């Protein structure tokens, strides 16, 4: 498939400084992500970073990395800069894979790219998975999505959506199994047309985006069509905390 993967990797992290360079089974975390993406059908994979140390680490393992500005307000702005530096054409598809997901399945990278490449009426594409327990429905860190029959995203929220008017009137359930295929958790992998990236960086932040702290709401607000589909494979959690890192180290230490 004709698309490019870009992996944003900032050195700064409030909970885990230097996260992209954290050692996992003898390699920096961002290199694990890069190698996973190389197993996809992407024609090129790049790490986009604001730090020379990350660039050097990726290149030391045979990867491609590109330096970007350090003051981008969003990750989408960083992607647009890379697309511009690489001279990618407006119709080209870019897939954003987070640099803290060393277990990302290559097939879901291909899936989000294919969903966008095969449907020209959409400007972006992303994925979701069914929420099966009430605790995650109420967890603001689990972003919920609602979408139409044709896969067009209608809204994303940290709140429980849809809101069950009658069932939640008295006491909303917080434990146990949630209704099957009624709640969907958004998975933070995106495909973009370069034309959308070029438009996005010209749009000011909107109240919905600021309130929910979700960049994709800016795209919805300005009329972009976002395709969303259930992921074809389970996407393991990324690394946000030292505890997450310990879990990933154990998993990859067992399999490599």
pLDDT tens digits, 158-215: 999 988 776 676 666 666 666 666 899 999 999 999 999 999 999 999 999 999 999 9
Domains of the chain: 3-126+185-230+240-250 (3.90.550.10)
Q: Which residues share a beta bridge with 114? A: none
Tell me the mean pLDDT in the region 11-39. Answer: 87
Query: What pLDDT shows up at residue 4?
Result: 98
pLDDT tens digits, 96-136: 999 889 999 999 999 999 999 999 999 999 999 999 888 88
pLDDT tens digits, 226-244: 999 999 999 887 887 888 8
Q: Which residue has the tokens 């909970």?
A: 15
Tell me the mean pLDDT in the region 49-53. Answer: 92
Query: What pLDDT shows up at residue 12?
Result: 72
Per-residue 3-state assignment (H helix, E strand, C coil) for the chain:
CCEEEEEEECCCCCCCCCHHHCEECCEEHHHHHHHHHHCCCCCEEEEEECCHHHHHHHHHCCCCEEECCCCCCCHHHHHHHHHHHCCCCCCCEEEECCCCCCCCCHHHHHHHHHHHHCCCCCCEEEEEEECCEHHHHCCCCCCEEEECCCCEEEEEECCCCCCCCCCCCCCCCCCCECCCCCCEEEEEEEEEEHHHHHHHCCCCCCHHHHHHCCCHHHHHHCCCCEEEEECCCCCCCCCCCHHHHHHHHHHHHHHC
């Amino acid at each position: 498939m004709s698309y490019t993967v870009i992996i944003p990797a900032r050195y700064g992290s409030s909970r885990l400084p230097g996260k992209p360079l954290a050692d996992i089974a003898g390699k920096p975390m961002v290199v694990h992500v890069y190698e996973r993406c190389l197993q996809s059908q992407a024609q090129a994979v790049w790490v986009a970073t604001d730090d020379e140390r990350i660039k050097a680490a990726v290149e030391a393992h045979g990867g491609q990395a590109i330096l970007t500005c350090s003051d981008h307000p969003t990750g989408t702005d960083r992607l647009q800069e890379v697309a511009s530096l690489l001279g990618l054409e407006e119709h080209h598809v870019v897939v954003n894979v987070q640099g803290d997901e060393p277990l990302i399945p290559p097939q879901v990278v291909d899936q989000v790219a294919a969903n966008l490449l095969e449907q020209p009426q959409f400007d972006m594409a992303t994925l979701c998975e069914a929420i099966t327990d009430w605790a995650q429905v109420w967890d603001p860190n689990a972003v919920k999505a609602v979408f139409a029959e044709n896969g067009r995203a209608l809204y994303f929220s940290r709140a429980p959506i849809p809101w069950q008017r009658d069932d939640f009137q008295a006491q909303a359930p917080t434990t146990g199994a949630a209704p099957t295929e009624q709640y969907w958790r958004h998975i933070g992998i995106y495909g973009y047309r370069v034309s959308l990236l070029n438009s996005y960086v010209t749009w000011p932040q909107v109240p919905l985006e600021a309130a929910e702290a979700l960049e994709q709401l800016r795209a919805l607000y300005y009329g972009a069509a976002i395709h969303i589909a259930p992921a074809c494979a389970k996407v393991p959690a990324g690394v946000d905390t030292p505890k997450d890192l310990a879990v990933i180290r154990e998993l990859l230490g067992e399999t490599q």
